[in-house]
């Protein structure tokens, strides 16, 4: 890594309370409790909602940067891929929804709008599903699940109406 990348890497590690990170499991272990603590929906209507939004955004940016850095390190050790991945789509169609990354999984990220009870799920390949009328308790259970993909398939996929965006 070059010097500017190393300082960005260190800065993002600091956001997640890490000195360094070597594996996606280490990254997930630091990320999940922090995003649960600072998710803006947990602070809705409270005085610290704006602070929670800023911190959650910083946590997500750190996770995205570090997971990409880990993937780049792994790819550099392997043979270069034959074709480039599809272009990433930032966020969800609903701009008020915070994107929460749930790697490693066939799901890239999830987001929840507590005002509309809509759950957004972004799959590998960047297909986005919007599940309608999902209670906050189900979203919180999803965030605690050991496998987001299994939880969505077993607890959400057949129980709630959805649309592919």
Q: Round to whole Å and give the CA distance between 59 and 61.
A: 6
Structure confidence at residue 48 (pLDDT): 86
Structure confidence at residue 156 (pLDDT): 93
Model confidence pTM above 0.75 = no
Q: Where are the alpha helices (DSSP H) in the chain?
A: 3-15, 24-38, 49-77, 136-144, 148-151
In CATH, the architecture of 3-77 is Orthogonal Bundle (1.10)
Q: Is the pLDDT of residue 39 over 70?
A: yes
Residue 111 CB-density burial (10 A; 0-12 exposed, 13-18 middle, 19+ buried):
buried
Highest mean pLDDT among 15-19, 89-93, 100-104: 15-19
Answer whether 61's CB lies under 8 Å from 12's CB: yes
Average pLDDT, the chain: 81
Q: Is the pLDDT of residue 74 over 90?
A: no
Give span(s): CATH 1.10.287, the chain: 3-77
């Amino acid at each position: 890594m070059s010097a500017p990348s190393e300082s960005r890497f260190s800065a993002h590690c600091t956001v997640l309370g890490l000195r360094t990170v070597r594996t996606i499991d280490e990254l997930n272990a630091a990320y999940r409790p922090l995003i649960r603590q600072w998710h803006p929906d947990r602070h809705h209507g409270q005085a610290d909602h704006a602070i929670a939004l800023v911190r959650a955004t910083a946590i997500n940016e750190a996770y995205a940067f570090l997971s990409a850095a880990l993937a780049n390190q792994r790819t550099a050790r392997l043979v270069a891929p034959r074709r480039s991945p599809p272009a990433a789509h930032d966020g969800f169609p609903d701009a008020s929804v915070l994107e929460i990354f749930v790697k490693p999984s066939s799901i890239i990220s999830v987001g929840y709008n507590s005002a509309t009870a809509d759950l957004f799920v972004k799959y590998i390949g960047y297909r986005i599903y919007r599940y309608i009328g999902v209670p906050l308790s189900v979203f919180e259970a999803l965030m605690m699940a050991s496998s987001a993909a299994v939880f969505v398939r077993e607890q959400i996929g057949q129980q709630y109406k959805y649309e592919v965006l």
